[in-house]
Structure 1
């Protein structure tokens, strides 16, 4: 288990399927995480298990726990490019009581430390939709820089929005003052 100041990260377990189903089928969680609602389908437990919990789907996905070890979200990485030592990150705080309180920033810092210093990644990236200002502020606090925009790449509640692409290099991360 990986530990931050306020959060812990642990690998997925089969007992997490019901909480994943709750988060992935929650309109407000999906709105902020992906700008995506309605979903094309509401996932049942079997679909959640097939999508995230089968061995071939093990793509660096972790459960975020709070100080009391209660699951509050998920984070991880995908699209690994081994020669370039890079990957794409994602994070969702599924428990709304923990939004805007620094848990996502702390969990992402734990993941950044792990990937830069244990996995020896050189570059980590992520993307978000241009209406998610809270996430963008948290990413900037951790040193991510805006690298580009995909114009009208997201369709949110009947309107097109840009996707913002952000990246962080290990050298930049190690130069940041620790919060």
Structure 2
């Protein structure tokens, strides 16, 4: 289990399927996470098990736990490129009581530290839709830079929106977040 200041990350377990089902069928969660409501809110528990719980060597998916070790979201990486040492990150805070309270930023920092310092990744990227300014602010706080836009790539509630592409290089991150050993208890 990986630990941050406010969050813990642990691998998925079969018992997580019902909470995933809840999050992926919550229109507010999906609206902010990927602007896909209602398209991705029609998943059954069997669909979720097949999509998210089938082992995939190019994807790592974790549950985000709060201080009491209760599930509040999911985070991970996909599209691993071994020669380039790069991957694409994703995160969803599924429990709305934890929005805008720093839990997503903390969980991202934990995963970024793991990928840069333990796995020696060189580059991490992610994308979001231009209406999710809360996510944009969190990503910039961690050092991600806007690298481009896909014009009108997302269709949200009857309107087209841009997708924002962001990237973070290891050297840039290390300047502001140097590695440190875990704290002893």
Contact 1:51/1:57, CA 8 A, preserved across alignment: no
Where do 1:8-47 residues align within 5 Å?
8-39=8-39, 42-47=42-47
Question: Cα distance 1:147–1:78, how it changes in 2: closer, same or farther (>3 A)?
Answer: same
Superposition TM-score, scaled by structure 1 size:
0.96
Where does structure 1 lack aligned partners over 5 or more consecutive residues? Answer: none
- Which residue number corresponds to residue 123 of structure 1? 123
RMSD across aligned positions (CA): 1.3
Where does structure 2 lack aligned partners over 5 or more consecutive residues? Answer: 179-185
* Equivalent residues, number: 178
Q: Secondary structure at the match of 1:77?
A: strand
Counterpart Cα distance in 1 of 2:85 and 2:34: 25
- Which residue number corresponds to residue 81 of structure 1? 81
Partner deviation per Cα, 1:95-133 (whole Å, 9 max, x = no partner): 000000000000000000000011110000000000000
Question: After the TM superposition, which parts of structure 1 deviate over 2 Å for at least 4 consecutive aligned residues?
Answer: 55-58
Q: CA deviation at 1:177?
A: 5.3
- Which residue number corresponds to residue 145 of structure 2? 145
Q: CA deviation at 1:38?
A: 1.2
Contact 2:25/2:40, CA 8 A, preserved across alignment: no
Counterpart Cα distance in 1 of 2:38 and 2:135: 21
Contact 2:30/2:41, CA 8 A, preserved across alignment: no
- Which residue number corresponds to residue 51 of structure 2? 51
Counterpart Cα distance in 1 of 2:133 and 2:40: 25
Superposition TM-score, scaled by structure 2 size:
0.93
Q: CA deviation at 1:57?
A: 7.3
